[in-house]
């Protein structure tokens, strides 16, 4: 059993006086400067940026989203954090899809006796003429899709994940917009 420690009246008064000195920024500029601190600390790139992604790009993305959504208060900030997390993951979907198609095309290209379009795609001398050749042979994308569908269907899984992320993003945006509407009408902050 722990003992209760009795604090003197003098100590309580001293603590209260010290607390008055630590109330945070008072000026408008000071309040503006610390307004995004909670968001900055909660949205650390270490949690969201994976190997191969750009930290600067994430920070720019986060700042642009902050200007768009302008969350105020802890509740709006928490919703905003979820929106940024989800939208960052949505951006990743396109890269993953491109990687899946690229992999399948390169594997098909390596296994066949057909002309090697991948050499043109990967070479430093990729020209407009090469692009025309690739565009003419769009069947490679169809082959890649078919190979993926017959294998593990990563594209289908990715599409499902994308749909869920979009739904969640819309749900959180609706929550944020409702919270902002209530706040602007004088309701909860």
Convert the pLDDT of each residue in 31-41 to its tens digit.
Answer: 555 555 555 54
Residue with tokens 């969640």: 168
pLDDT for position 136: 44
Q: Which phi and psi (to 5°) does residue 142 adopt? A: -65, -40
Domain containing 97: what range?
35-184
In total, how many domains does the chain have? 1
Choose between 185 and 125: higher pLDDT: 185
Inter-CA distances, 111 with 22, 25, 107, 114, Å: 69, 66, 6, 9
Let me know if residue 91 belongs to a domain.
Answer: yes
Q: Please report the pLDDT score of residue 108 as a whole number.
A: 73
Determine, yes or no, domain membership for 149.
yes
pLDDT(152) > 90: no
Most confident of the ranges 3-12, 62-71, 107-116: 62-71
16 within a domain of the structure (yes/no): no
Structure tokens at 45: 């790139």
Q: Would you say 181 and 173 are in contact if contact means Cβ atoms under 8 Å apart? A: no
- Quote the radius of gyration of the chain (alpha carbons, Å): 27
pTM: 0.58
> Is residue 135, in this structure, part of any structural domain at all?
yes
Q: Please check whether residue 49 lies inside any domain of the structure.
A: yes
Please give the Cα distance from 151 to 170 (Å, whole number).
Answer: 32
The answer to whether residue 29 sits within a structural domain is no
């Amino acid at each position: 059993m722990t003992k209760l420690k009795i604090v003197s009246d003098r100590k309580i008064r001293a603590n209260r006086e010290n607390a008055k000195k630590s109330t945070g920024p008072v000026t408008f500029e000071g309040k503006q400067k610390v307004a995004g601190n909670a968001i900055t600390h909660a949205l650390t790139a270490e949690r969201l940026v994976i190997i191969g992604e750009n930290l600067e790009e994430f920070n720019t993305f986060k700042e642009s989203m902050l200007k768009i959504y302008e969350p105020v208060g802890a509740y709006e900030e928490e919703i905003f954090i979820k929106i940024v997390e989800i939208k960052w993951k949505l951006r990743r979907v396109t890269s993953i899809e491109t990687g899946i198609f690229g992999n399948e095309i390169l594997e098909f290209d390596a296994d066949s006796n057909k002309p090697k379009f991948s050499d043109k795609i990967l070479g430093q001398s990729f020209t407009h003429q090469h692009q025309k050749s690739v565009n003419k042979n769009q069947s490679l994308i169809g082959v890649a899709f078919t190979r993926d569908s017959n294998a593990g269907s990563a594209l289908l899984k990715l599409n499902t994940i994308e749909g869920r992320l979009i739904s969640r993003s819309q749900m959180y945006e609706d929550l944020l917009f409702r919270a902002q509407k209530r706040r602007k009408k004088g309701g909860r902050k």
